[in-house]
Amino acid sequence: MKQHFVKPDSKIKLSEWNPNDTGNFQGGKEEGLAEVAKQNQKLSELQEILYAEHKHKVLIVLQAMDTGGKDGAIRRVFSGINPQGVRIANFKAPTAEELDHDYLWRVHKVVPAKGEMTVFNRSHYEDVLVVRVHNIVPPEIVEKRYDQINAFEHHLAENGTTILKFYLHIDKDQQKERLQARLDDPSKHWKFRLGDLEERKLWPDYMKAFEDVLSKTSTNYAPWIIVPANRKWYRDLVISSILVKTLEDLKMKIPASDENLKDVVVE
């Protein structure tokens, strides 16, 4: 999965990253789904150790264009995990209270505690994506925020947080297909917003904004991973495989009981 990581200080052109790519995986969809199931089982076991050990913190950031698959990835990758140890944080339009603080205030409140895995469904990166594309803040302010975000993530990493950031990469044709599927299915109408069509017109601007995010904020302590996401099964395989490898590398151990249980008998 190393080929999907963005090296620090790289200059990213998303046109050079194939959203249909399946990397070095030799099998097709059925084999991929089977492998996802295996990885999910491992992830569930590792998450239980993470929770029990109460030592490490894991932050997972998901960013994508509309229909990119953030919700689907959360459902499939984290489906078998104990909900006690996983939190999902969604970032919508800031509230009045949040607007009265700096843009990272609402983010810092929900970062993972010891033993927790937290998934950001969208994140602080909205403040260098949406606000840039819609000219909500001046360009010079956006430019400063890349360094501020890097400093924020460095602070989290220095205090024991493992950070992984996934950009779910789809192409414009795939987005059209997924939006049309929502429109064609009455049970999916709740997911369709007319505003999505307006945002779609800004696709080139969003691609440039994402390219700058990926180029300027992928670091050794908080790397970006570009996930080919046209194929949902491969999207899930990339995310689950990288999470499993990352948790294994933490060398976690189930803690011993602080009580002497040697001669205890349950009657």
The pLDDT tens digits for 94-134 are: 899 999 999 999 999 999 999 999 999 999 999 999 999 99
In a domain, 255, yes or no: no
- The confidence band for 25, taking pLDDT boundaries of 50, 70 and 90, is confident
In three-state form (DSSP H/G/I as H, E/B as E, the rest C), the secondary structure along 64-129 is ECCCCCHHHHHHHHCCCCCHHHEEEEECCCCCHHHHCCCCCHHHHCCCCCCCCEEEEECCHHHHHC
In a domain, 92, yes or no: yes
To the nearest whole number, what is the mean pLDDT of the chain?
93
Nearest to 72 by CA among 183, 200, 225, 231: 231
Q: Are 6 and 225 in contact (CB under 8 A)?
A: yes
Q: How far apart are the first and last CA of the chain?
A: 50
Q: What is the pLDDT of residue 157?
A: 97
114: left (phi over 0), alpha (psi -120 to 50) or beta: beta
- The confidence band for 92, taking pLDDT boundaries of 50, 70 and 90, is confident
> The domain that contains 232 carries what CATH number?
3.40.50.300
In a domain, 11, yes or no: yes
Q: Are 76 and 237 in contact (CB under 8 A)?
A: no
Q: What is the pLDDT of residue 218?
A: 98
- The confidence band for 28, taking pLDDT boundaries of 50, 70 and 90, is confident
Residue 143's domain comprises 2-249
- Give the pTM: 0.94
In a domain, 254, yes or no: no
Q: Return the ∠ at Cα 143 (arms to 142 and 147), rounded to 5°.
A: 110
- The confidence band for 263, taking pLDDT boundaries of 50, 70 and 90, is confident
40-73 residue pLDDT tens: 999 999 999 999 999 999 999 999 999 999 999 9
- The confidence band for 265, taking pLDDT boundaries of 50, 70 and 90, is confident
In a domain, 266, yes or no: no
In a domain, 264, yes or no: no
| Range 188-212 average pLDDT | 94
Q: What is the pLDDT of residue 24?
A: 82
More confident residue, 237 or 259: 237
Over the range 102-139, which residues count as b (16 or more CB within 10 Å of their CB) and which as e?
ebeebbeebbbeebbbbbbbbbbbbbbbbbbbeeeeee
Nearest to 163 by CA among 81, 107, 211: 107
Q: What is the tally of structural domains in the chain? A: 1
Nearest to 242 by CA among 224, 218, 266: 224
Nearest to 247 by CA among 80, 64, 55: 55
In a domain, 25, yes or no: yes
Cα gap 255→52, rounded to integer Å:
7
143-182 residue pLDDT tens: 999 999 999 999 999 999 999 999 999 999 999 999 999 9
In a domain, 132, yes or no: yes
